[in-house]
Amino acid sequence: MDIWQAIYTRRSIRRYEDREVPPDLVWEMLRAAHWAPSAHNRQPWRFVIVGRGPRREELARRMAERLVADLLQDGWDEDAARERAARSIRRLTTAPLLIVLALDTDTVDAYEDERRQRAAYLMMVQSVALAGQNLLLAAHALGLGACWICAPLFAGDIVRAVLDLPPTWEPQGFITVGYPAERVVKEREDLEKKVLGIGYQVLSPQWTSNAHHENTTGTEISNTQYLIPDTSLVLLSGGVGGAKMAAGLYAILPPDALTVIVNTGDDFEHIGLPISPDLDTVMYTLAGLNHPERGWGLAGDTFQALEMLGRYGAPTWFQLGDKDLATHIVRRFLRDQGWPLSRITDHLRAALGIHARILPMTDDPVRTVIVTPDGTLPFQEYFVHRRQKPPVREVRFEGMESAQPAPGVLDALEAARAIVIAPSNPYLSLDPILALPRVREILQRRREAVVMVSPIVGGKAIKGPLAKIMREYGEEPLPLAVARYYRDILGAFVLDERDADQKDAIAALGMRVVVTDTLMRNADDRARVARAALEAVGYEHP
């Protein structure tokens, strides 16, 4: 774990597995603490490791009594105070490891006046706190969870008495440590409000290229680091069909549960702008801004710029709306700042107030190209310019050999409680995602948790050229053919009721089959299909 990931993903962990912390890890943490800076290099920190047992229990009990007394003095009612104290006892007695951080007052300079005496004392308090933060980071980097407890500041006399500390060791805090039994997602307030520039132009952090805010377990999202919540659900998505599925899931899941991994094979450079159609379609749809009929682009968008571009002889076959252009211009600006696509997407998503994570399948350039009798066509040339007319001989993903999944993609697939494959085009939109290193292997291993919603209804694709391509491949455009194509990764399949006659044949592939109306014409439809998919893989969310 590198320093940036340690800093940005450390959380206060309060629930631990019932498992001892190996002694060698304890020394690793203490050594890290010992290398903190300290005022005048006095190294005033002292550590007391309190094992589980009678002394720890007596300490917890005596401190709880002090807490109750304090709370009653504040006017708390007896029951609430005792409940709070009982929780405190539980925390202190069940933590596998309890480290007391103390300050040795021998290290504090003596002054005649109160002002400098207080400053000399606080210098050592700060030094012990710095050692504590090193210890917390080291615990996290070692795969442990830890939490600083400030209670000893309110009951230092009790801690000294029960643990029989040397008289100059003044308790500063407890740190509980153990193997994490919880995952924590925590917010940070806006940093900008806490920063004042004096004679210094403080640029908004959004636009400065602070590359270190990435970390391999996810990307920095508006000051909120996502550790993957236990309710997490991952959707593999292409464009329009996938976006509807994403909206259906987003509507019924807890806000931070959904991660959408999106195809980027359709991406291309157009009049100097980087276009990511599937990412934008998913993003606009989750933000409720998408054009309801077309599916792509923004509702209410105008095409003034496109018209002007046409007058200059620029291509207008790929219709870029005026509001849509803002997305491409910002994507271009941030790319020129060195931001990877995953970070740009995260920024755009956060700016549109979307709480789901939207991850491009890769940050590397992968381009889907279509081999046709008219030659090998770039994707949008085939899809939009030639309106999907040329027969498809083969689909290739240029750049795939050196592409890696984007940060967070593999973690999300490993950690997800369920993985939904959207009713997108398998050949054009889903195969690119599955072709990335290790993606298909994770889905094969986790097959039981994987469900696909049929992209074919009644022998034709809901949107796009799927049925046509299946025929060009000599396949019957039937859901059964799709289920068979992905039989190695599907544990369940959501079949449209118009194709119910194929249920047994699909079940015979070893999948659970749920039959429902899979057409998603409105929000209720989308929620129904989303529930059917979650039911098919037994995903119960809280």
**Closer to ligand FO1 by Cβ: residue 205 or 378:** 378
- Taking CB under 6 A as the binding criterion, the range among 199-207, 232-240, 516-524, 531-539 that sits at the site for ligand FO1 is 232-240
Write phi, then psi, for 71 (nearest 5 degrees).
-65, -40
- The only residue of 155, 245, 320, 421 in contact with ligand FO1, by rule CB under 6 A: 320
- The only residue of 170, 214, 220, 280 in contact with ligand FO1, by rule CB under 6 A: 280
Query: Which tokens belong to 439?
Result: 């993606």
- Taking CB under 6 A as the binding criterion, the range among 25-33, 220-228, 276-284, 483-491 that sits at the site for ligand FO1 is 276-284
Nearest to 61 by CA among 84, 83, 93: 93
302 is an interface residue for ligand FO1 by CB under 6 A: no
- The only residue of 215, 281, 362, 454 in contact with ligand FO1, by rule CB under 6 A: 281
Return the SS3 of 234. strand
Contact pattern from residue 395 through residue 434 relative to ligand FO1, giving x for each residue in contact according to CB under 6 A and a dash for the rest = ----------------------------------x-----
218 is an interface residue for ligand FO1 by CB under 6 A: no
Q: Is residue 101 a contact partner of residue 182, using CB atoms and an 8 Å limit?
A: no
- The only residue of 184, 384, 435, 509 in contact with ligand FO1, by rule CB under 6 A: 384
- The only residue of 170, 214, 220, 266 in contact with ligand FO1, by rule CB under 6 A: 266
Distance CA 97, CA 18 (A): 11
**Closer to ligand FO1 by Cβ: residue 237 or 259:** 237
- The only residue of 152, 180, 239, 455 in contact with ligand FO1, by rule CB under 6 A: 239
Write phi, then psi, for 235 (nearest 5 degrees).
-115, 130
Nearest to 434 by CA among 193, 259, 261, 250: 261
**Closer to ligand FO1 by Cβ: residue 276 or 502:** 276
**Rg of the chain taking only CA atoms, in angstroms:** 29
Quote the least distance from Cβ 429 to ligand FO1, whole Å: 6
Query: Which tokens belong to 164?
Result: 């029989």
Q: What share of the chain is helix, strand, coil (3-state, %, to 5)?
A: 45, 20, 35
Q: Is residue 463 a contact partner of residue 240, using CB atoms and an 8 Å limit?
A: yes
- Relative to beta strand 367-372, strand 394-398 is antiparallel
- Taking CB under 6 A as the binding criterion, the range among 12-20, 196-204, 317-325, 512-520 that sits at the site for ligand FO1 is 317-325
Nearest to 447 by CA among 506, 488, 502: 488
267 is an interface residue for ligand FO1 by CB under 6 A: no
Quote the least distance from Cβ 493 to ligand FO1, whole Å: 22
Q: Is residue 145 a contact partner of residue 180, using CB atoms and an 8 Å limit?
A: yes
Quote the least distance from Cβ 468 to ligand FO1, whole Å: 14
Q: Which amino acid is at 347?
A: H
Q: Is residue 420 a contact partner of residue 356, using CB atoms and an 8 Å limit?
A: no
Quote the least distance from Cβ 316 to ligand FO1, whole Å: 9
**Residue 187 CA: distances (Å) to CA of 54, 176, 220, 227:** 38, 22, 11, 12
- Taking CB under 6 A as the binding criterion, the range among 101-109, 204-212, 273-281, 479-487 that sits at the site for ligand FO1 is 273-281
- Taking CB under 6 A as the binding criterion, the range among 39-47, 202-210, 226-234, 315-323 that sits at the site for ligand FO1 is 315-323
Distance CA 48, CA 102 (A): 8
- Taking CB under 6 A as the binding criterion, the range among 28-36, 173-181, 227-235, 313-321 that sits at the site for ligand FO1 is 313-321
**Closer to ligand FO1 by Cβ: residue 296 or 339:** 296
Size of the site for ligand FO1 (CB under 6 A): 18
**Closer to ligand FO1 by Cβ: residue 129 or 287:** 287
Q: Which residue has the tokens 């310019």?
A: 385
| Burial per residue of 441-472, b for 16 or more beta-carbon CB atoms within 10 angstroms, e otherwise | ebbeebbebbbbbbbbbeeebbebbbbbbbee
Q: Specify which residues 224 forms β-bridges with.
A: 221
- Relative to beta strand 169-178, strand 145-149 is antiparallel
Quote the least distance from Cβ 244 to ligand FO1, whole Å: 12
Distance CA 93, CA 457 (A): 59
- Cite the beta strand spans of 210-256 per DSSP E: 214-215, 218-219, 233-237
- The only residue of 206, 302, 304, 319 in contact with ligand FO1, by rule CB under 6 A: 319
**Closer to ligand FO1 by Cβ: residue 177 or 428:** 428
| Burial per residue of 524-542, b for 16 or more beta-carbon CB atoms within 10 angstroms, e otherwise | ebbbbbbbbbbbbbebeee
48 is an interface residue for ligand FO1 by CB under 6 A: no
- Taking CB under 6 A as the binding criterion, the range among 54-62, 130-138, 212-220, 236-244 that sits at the site for ligand FO1 is 236-244
- The only residue of 170, 214, 220, 324 in contact with ligand FO1, by rule CB under 6 A: 324
**Closer to ligand FO1 by Cβ: residue 281 or 502:** 281
**Closer to ligand FO1 by Cβ: residue 44 or 239:** 239
Binding stretches for ligand FO1 (CB under 6 A) = 238-240, 266, 277-278, 280-281, 296-297, 318-320, 324, 380, 383-384, 429
